A and B are shown apart, each in its own frame.
Chain A
Amino acid sequence: MLDRHNRLLAALDLLTTLLMAGAAGVVFFFTPVEATMGAVQKVFYFHVAANWAGMLGFIVAAVCAGGYLRTGSSAWDIAESAAVEIGLVFTAIGIVSGSIWAYSAWGTFWTWDPRLTTAAIMVLLYAAYFLLRQGIENPERRARFAAVYAIIGIISVPATFLSIRMFRTIHPVLVAGEETLGLTPAMQAAFFFSLAAFSFLFASLFWHRIRLGRLAEAVEIQQSQV
């Protein structure tokens, strides 16, 4: 059974590596250079995909949190913290890569624009999730509090996503009705390819992180026996 899982994970890793390499190839060699921004516009493909994977992580964490509160199983708690950690990594990557693009396009790394502000709040909220976990020693109490926090924290995801549609902002709106930011068919293909590649990367990292969480739990149990 374990061997079958390992083989599946290795296959997923291989598929993810191929997809990521393919996405990078499509972005660098097949998409045209955008006329007003130049080559830096190509950051957009992985920037949006990273943010998508980050939000996916927080949504998965909320689902796992619901699973924990319903069943009390530590497996849900492990999956929940894994999803938050990966979501945080992807969102941080999204913010930093966005600020590189912003410096080139707006002349500043950071501005208190609604999208940037809500994204920063989201990152701080989920960073605090780990502070909360570290502050509680009892494993059941820790898992229960973290699950409630992950469910409340999910509010920041639609708030961030909708901020550019609800408020006046200088951040580009990717899809507004029929408009799609003036992307050519090659650009749209690269965009959706990147989204798919990052979704697989999320799945692969999530699986690895869950394995790590299970190992950490086993070590914690052993430590209590010594």
Chain B
Amino acid sequence: MLPDTFNFMLIGYGIILGSLGCYILSLAWRWRHLKRQQQELAETLEKKT
């Protein structure tokens, strides 16, 4: 008889795919944050000159 380890499989794949999703979201968040910062700095530089 096969051992019932289905829940462990679900947890394992949940962690793998969830972590990858979180990392991809973190890349997107950092990109947006830097773009905003870049825009603000460009505006500040423009005002100075």
> Which A positions have Cβ atoms within 8 angstroms of B?
24, 33, 35-43, 46-47, 50, 89, 92-93, 96-97, 100-101, 103-104, 201, 205, 208-209, 211-212, 215-216, 218-219, 222-223, 225-226
Contact = CB atoms under 8 A, between A and B. Distances in A.
Contacts of A201: 20
B18 to A, nearest CB: 9
A41 B37 CA distance: 46
A215 B29 CA distance: 13
B27 A47 contact: no
A76 B5 CA distance: 45
A93 to B, nearest CB: 5
Contacts of A40: 5-6, 8-9, 12
A219 B41 contact: yes
B22 to A, nearest CB: 9
Nearest to B6: A39
Contacts of A43: 8-9, 12-13, 16
8 contacts: A40-B5, A40-B8, A47-B16, A93-B15, A100-B15, A212-B34, A215-B38, A219-B41
Contacts of A39: 4-6, 8-9
> 4 closest Cβ contacts across the A-B interface?
A43-B12, A40-B5, A38-B5, A40-B8
Nearest to B38: A219
A218 to B, nearest CB: 7
Given A37-B3, A42-B13, A219-B34, 4 more contacts: A35-B2, A46-B16, A100-B12, A208-B27
Contact of B35 (A215, A223, A225): A215
B30 to A, nearest CB: 6
A44 to B, nearest CB: 9
Contacts of B11: 100
Given A33-B2, A37-B3, A222-B45, A104 B8 contact: yes
A218 B31 CA distance: 12
